[in-house]
A and B are shown apart, each in its own frame.
Chain A
Amino acid sequence: MAEVEFDPAAVTDEVSEGIGEIREASDLEELKALKSRYSGAGSAMARASRAIGSLSADRKKTAGQLIGKLRADFGRAYGLKEGQLQQEEEDRRLRAERVDMTLPVDRKPQGARHPLTRLMEDVEDFFVSMGWRIAQGPELEAEWYNFDALNFGPDHPARQMQDTFYVKGNQARDAAGFVGSNMVMRTHTSPDQARSLITRGVPLYVACTGRVFRTDELDATHTPVFHQCEAIAVDEHLTMADLKGVLDKLAAAMFGPEARTRLRPSYFPFTEPSAEMDLWFPDRKGGPGWIEWGGCGMVNPNVLRSAGVDPDKYSGFAFGVGMERTLLLRHDINDMHDLVEGDVRFSQQFEMGE
């Protein structure tokens, strides 16, 4: 077997030439071609490897070491360049994949809670945080709960048809006038004072949010169907000082830490003493000021008696605030129509923070 020529200088030159070209390679394809040229079957390195077998034992060792070193050098250079080119190519590809991330993407239509129901939940949470319970009573109510139990006499002006929605009953159905069913759409959430006192007893700390009805035409500030929050607390030793404390806290919860309330003497059949409640509204358009916010007072002894509670032993306070009014003030809404008409644009702005 003829000894194949083994020329260390030639193979070393070719490998270093190859390493030089690898360093200059501009893409992975060229790199692969260089790999097969300089380390493939026909390369000097391959030829030299084959030649080693025919070398003498002493030459074999040095030749093997040389080839091993050349292979390692070549492989290192190749790997380095391959990594570099792969990185460049990935960079190029990802740059090409760039999109306009500001394109609007709204696959599902935007939904929204009604701001009024959310407000009522906020109010409920306020009371729950103080350890109160939340009650709900019927919207179509017995006159006794809506009026008589609350110390409205049979001839009180509020009981007239111009304020109250009366409901036709079965018995009066064929008679003229239909009045006399003893049922009304509740004109306030106050009937829940009586219902709560009767069903829950004392001590009582209850708030009620809900719908109420009065025969007002819809305009910028009125709606025949609106919402109130009623609060009633009856216990031993409750006074108007406690009423003022809860009102101030609620005002701060709704209108910020600077908000507070003040009371003015007034009249409601179901409270005595009674007061109108004004809100100090720091964020009022046109400067901070007092704004009427609700009615309140100490629960009238006749209301307590109607519920079988001894007014000499127990006392309590009650107040009511309009939820629409609160929302209008808080969000600078100028027209009641927006609250009642159900236009999706109105509620959705509260979801989108516009």
Chain B
Amino acid sequence: MPMVDIDWLKEHVEVPGDLTYPQLAKDLVRVGLEEEEIHQSTVTGPIVVGYVVDALPEPQKNGKVINWCHVDVGDAYNAVDDDGKKVPRGIVCGAPNMAAGEKVVVTLPGAVLPGDFKIEPRKTYGHLSDGMCASERELGLGSDHNGIILLRQYGFTDQEYEALKPGDDAMALLHMDNPVLEINITPDRGYAFSYRGVAREFHHSTGAAYTDPVMELNKALPQAADRSDQAPIEVRIEDDNPIHGVPGCDRYYVRSVQGYQPGSATPSWMRRRLTRAGMRSISLPVDVTNYVMLDLGQPLHAYDADKIEGPIVVRRARQGERLTTLDGKDRELSTEDLLITDSPKGEAGSRILGLAGVMGGLYGEVTDQTRNILIESAHFDQVTIARSARRHKLPSEASKRFERGVDPQMQPAAAQMAARLLQEFGGARIDATPLDLDRTTPMPTIDFKPSEVARLTDLDTDRDRIVAILEDIGCEVDSGAGQVLSVRPPSWRPDLGEACDLVEEVARLVGYDRIPINIPSAKVTGEVGLTDRQLRKRWVADTLAEYGLTEVLDYPFVGRQDLTAFGYDPDQEEAVSVELANPMAADRPFLRRVLMLPLANTVARNLRRGNTNVSLYEIGYIFVRDPKAPAVPTLSGGTRPSDEQLAQLDAGLPEQRLHVAALLTGLAQDDGWLKDHRPVDWTDAVESARRVLDRVGAHYRLEQPEADQVPAQWHPGRTAQVVLDDGTPVGMVGELHPRVIAELGFPEHSSAFELDLDGIFDHLDFSPLQAKPISTFPPVRQDLAFTVPVSVTADQLASAIREAAGTSLESIELFDVFTGEQIGQDAKSLAFAVTFRAPDRTLTSEDSEALRSAIVEKASGLGAQLRA
């Protein structure tokens, strides 16, 4: 994101003399330009200008040649000889460009350079080197490390160079001691990707006087009378593949300069500003194009005019075309890529010069031989450039600006500015005649009711103030008669398309802090509060935490290894799993179909960390892919789709159901010194699942499948299915299969449940429970022990008892389960304590005898026999 240098900002707006960077950041954020960072200088002095009095080359044994130099650094810093006289400092310098008579940058003992590089006197090559002559890189000013900085070549004018005296503060000279502000630009404000834009915003924030540099440059454009009818080059825009119907290029503007003096130096101020913006100084023509881009926001391209053969054709790439870009990478082009091409041997558009608005190619660039230059100042479509930059992973300075939107009316001004700079510093002549292929259209006007400001923001702003603000941001406002203003936004604000956009402009310039504060009262219509499902979801979470489990929130991503560990057939599962196109981890591309899988990984992580008795639960969504689901349609925004289209959107979405799952490991009861430890087993899973089911009010039973019907995740003999009264299965509970437990490295008998909460909620009617009256007549208790075949479940027998006892049954409690020789193989004993109580009378002994026989008879249907 762009850097803001106060020294540069001053060019366009009257900056207070005492403006600090923190204050600048505050001023800009108020109007929406957010501070990213204030980059502080990491360099401390003394760093001064030095005059090289003598430099004696001394070849070394290692083949290197060093210079033993004496450098005058001014009286304040010079050394003192035996007679107490000030003399130049002795400094060893290995740079090949060191020479007597040069003015250089000397870092003196005590200075600290980037990377915490402390300068100290040191003995080297047989001398005491009392300071260091610095390169650009050592000072953090750039990447050049081929030699030390020679101030003679640093772009000062002759007078400026003459004026440099030994001992002058080089940090101030090169602006090394200044911080610089980096700001963030939101995607709607492409114009602020320039000093032109930032200066305007500073003006909006502070009221400081602002001059639009483009307006000034436009005044200096050659008048029609000065132009010839000889355009510098012919240009054709031939876009046969526009994206969303928008041509890739709607303006192509060229200025030509001739007689440029190769090797002309970039002036020091420009070099310094580029460096502080994070750009490297390369050559005057390249530096000028970069400088204009940073200043105005218009990316430019400079071509060697003698290498370009007209016409220039702006076109899309053809299938199979390739380009080696300036960074040396060979790229396969897409038919969406927009190209700048020229026409050698009269073959129009046959040679690719560059990827428009993104990066140039190797041919046609300005070199150190170039004398005649074509300056391309064009306007490209945001989407075209954005796609190309992303496709080729080339977020260049140019593409960043084009994809946010460049002012389509500033191309002449930008080219003018570049030509002027090449004239001034490169001795070039400017050709007065431009080429301007302009297919841009004016910004449409917006009908704007000033009352919209109050309607959306509650700001009390009068019409005159609103008009003044809109004009200040560059709008043309027709404020004639009537309620409605006709507002034409400035060319650099493509984001202003609707009344609400103008409201934001008014509000942010008046100040969001001026908006009053009000607490709206929601219109309560229909139901209030949480829904029955939302409430029950919370109850489930609380119930399990109270039961002793810990809630977690897992990533919902699973992979083959998770499926395999749980004994699933991965191929079968993956066929019905939702798959991400771009997963975080390539080995976990699927979305969970059960919560248990990610939950197991979290349990494992806890166990690896030495946590014991890890029992976790999660409430979350699972995703089920329907291989026959219809496609989700592509619809555009801005209008309400039909009900049918909305139904199609939802029909294509995979099913997403709210589940709760728990995994229990370790000790269910662990009372330390009391020595009453009990490992988790299936009973804990059943009890916790029952608590959840009872808490939400589900009517359910557990059905235990035959061993060969039990899914591979579960222990074949210790697993039950949770079934609602109407037969809907809503979950599983039991002990994990020993193989799964071993695979996961869990303690033996680790147990689990997983319930489909949506399935359970779907079958609740959420009506209030209808309470039974409480009988005050005495109870009759009976113990009934039955011998039953092992295949008969406790639940089946209890249900039979309940059914037989009818309304007189108050409670039934299993108090003993017994297997053994006395009973015989394939049988077990189940003993129940049964309590009867009538609502309206005391039960007689005849009554209880009749109930007992009814129960025994009913139980015999299951093969149960009452034990004596």
Residues of chain A touching chain B, judged by Cβ–Cβ distance below 8 Å, are 103-114, 116-117, 121, 124, 128, 130-134, 136, 138-145, 147-152, 154-157, 160-161, 165-171, 177-179, 181-183, 185, 198, 203, 205, 211, 215, 217, 224-225, 233, 235, 237-242, 244-246, 248-249, 262-267, 272-276, 298, 300-303, 305-308, 315, 339-345, 347-348, 351
Is the CB of B530 closer than 8 A to any CB of chain A? yes
- A-facing residues in B673-687 (Cβ within 8 Å): 673-674, 676
**Complex Cα gap A340–B605 (Å):** 12
Is the CB of B138 closer than 8 A to any CB of chain A? no
Cross-chain contact A342 with B508 (CB below 8 angstroms): no
Cross-chain contact B631 with A171 (CB below 8 angstroms): yes
Cross-chain contact B390 with A160 (CB below 8 angstroms): yes
Is the CB of B484 closer than 8 A to any CB of chain A? no
**Complex Cα gap A205–B551 (Å):** 30
Is the CB of B542 closer than 8 A to any CB of chain A? yes
Cross-chain contact B628 with A239 (CB below 8 angstroms): no
**Complex Cα gap A125–B122 (Å):** 69
- Least CB distance, B684 to chain A, in whole angstroms: 10
The proximity string for B residues 254-291 relative to A, scoring 1 for CB distances below 8 Å and 0 otherwise, is 00000000000000000000000000000000000000
Given that A128-B530, A245-B519 are contacting pairs, would A142 and B649 also be in contact in the complex, using a CB cutoff of 8 Å? yes
The interface residues of chain B lying within 8 Å CB-to-CB of A239 are 454-458, 515, 518
- A-facing residues in B582-639 (Cβ within 8 Å): 582-584, 591, 602, 605-606, 609, 611, 613-616, 619-621, 623, 625-629, 631-639
Cross-chain contact B34 with A140 (CB below 8 angstroms): no
The proximity string for B residues 713-730 relative to A, scoring 1 for CB distances below 8 Å and 0 otherwise, is 000000000000000000
**Complex Cα gap A44–B255 (Å):** 145
Is the CB of B552 closer than 8 A to any CB of chain A? yes
**Complex Cα gap A274–B555 (Å):** 31
Cross-chain contact A241 with B580 (CB below 8 angstroms): no
**Complex Cα gap A351–B581 (Å):** 39
The interface residues of chain B lying within 8 Å CB-to-CB of A105 are 671, 674
The interface residues of chain A lying within 8 Å CB-to-CB of B206 are none
**Complex Cα gap A111–B540 (Å):** 13
**Complex Cα gap A351–B545 (Å):** 10
Chain B's closest residue to A270 (CB) is B637
Cross-chain contact B515 with A244 (CB below 8 angstroms): yes
Is the CB of B387 closer than 8 A to any CB of chain A? yes
Please classify the interface of chain A as helix (H, G, I), strand (E, B), loop, or mixed, using the class held by over half of its residues.
Answer: mixed
The interface residues of chain A lying within 8 Å CB-to-CB of B613 are 109
**Complex Cα gap A114–B616 (Å):** 11
Contact for A203 among B519, B523, B650, CB less than 8 A: B523
Is the CB of B29 closer than 8 A to any CB of chain A? yes
Cross-chain contact B550 with A149 (CB below 8 angstroms): no
**Complex Cα gap A273–B544 (Å):** 44
Chain A's closest residue to B506 (CB) is A273
**Complex Cα gap A264–B548 (Å):** 45
The proximity string for B residues 444-461 relative to A, scoring 1 for CB distances below 8 Å and 0 otherwise, is 000000000011111100
Contact for B579 among A160, A167, A182, A340, CB less than 8 A: A167
Please name the 7 residue pairs, one residue from A and one from B, whose CB atoms are nearest each other, closest first.
A265-B32, A308-B640, A273-B504, A342-B552, A267-B186, A148-B637, A205-B522
Supply 9 further A-B pairs (C-beta < 8 A) apart from A203-B523, A242-B519: A117-B541, A133-B531, A154-B244, A155-B382, A170-B629, A239-B455, A272-B500, A273-B504, A344-B614
Is the CB of B560 closer than 8 A to any CB of chain A? no
Please classify the interface of chain B as helix (H, G, I), strand (E, B), loop, or mixed, using the class held by over half of its residues.
Answer: loop
Cross-chain contact A128 with B529 (CB below 8 angstroms): yes
**Complex Cα gap A238–B672 (Å):** 60
Cross-chain contact A265 with B632 (CB below 8 angstroms): no
**Complex Cα gap A132–B528 (Å):** 7
The interface residues of chain A lying within 8 Å CB-to-CB of B649 are 142, 144-145
- Least CB distance, B688 to chain A, in whole angstroms: 10
- A-facing residues in B517-543 (Cβ within 8 Å): 517-525, 527-531, 534, 538, 541-542
Cross-chain contact A300 with B500 (CB below 8 angstroms): yes
**Complex Cα gap A160–B386 (Å):** 11
Cross-chain contact B653 with A183 (CB below 8 angstroms): yes
Is the CB of B689 closer than 8 A to any CB of chain A? no
Cross-chain contact A273 with B671 (CB below 8 angstroms): no
- Least CB distance, A50 to chain B, in whole angstroms: 52
Cross-chain contact A241 with B517 (CB below 8 angstroms): yes
Given that A241-B457, A242-B520, A347-B551 are contacting pairs, would A141 and B653 also be in contact in the complex, using a CB cutoff of 8 Å? yes
Cross-chain contact A168 with B547 (CB below 8 angstroms): no
Is the CB of B490 closer than 8 A to any CB of chain A? no
The interface residues of chain B lying within 8 Å CB-to-CB of A345 are 611
The interface residues of chain B lying within 8 Å CB-to-CB of A139 are 556, 621, 623, 656
Is the CB of B764 closer than 8 A to any CB of chain A? no
**Complex Cα gap A110–B667 (Å):** 12
Is the CB of B183 closer than 8 A to any CB of chain A? no
**Complex Cα gap A262–B29 (Å):** 12
- Least CB distance, B275 to chain A, in whole angstroms: 29
Cross-chain contact B548 with A110 (CB below 8 angstroms): yes
| 6 pairs, A vs B, C-beta closer than 8 Å | A107-B676, A131-B523, A161-B581, A249-B519, A305-B638, A339-B553
Chain A's closest residue to B531 (CB) is A134
The interface residues of chain B lying within 8 Å CB-to-CB of A183 are 632, 652-654
The interface residues of chain B lying within 8 Å CB-to-CB of A152 are 637
Cross-chain contact A116 with B653 (CB below 8 angstroms): no
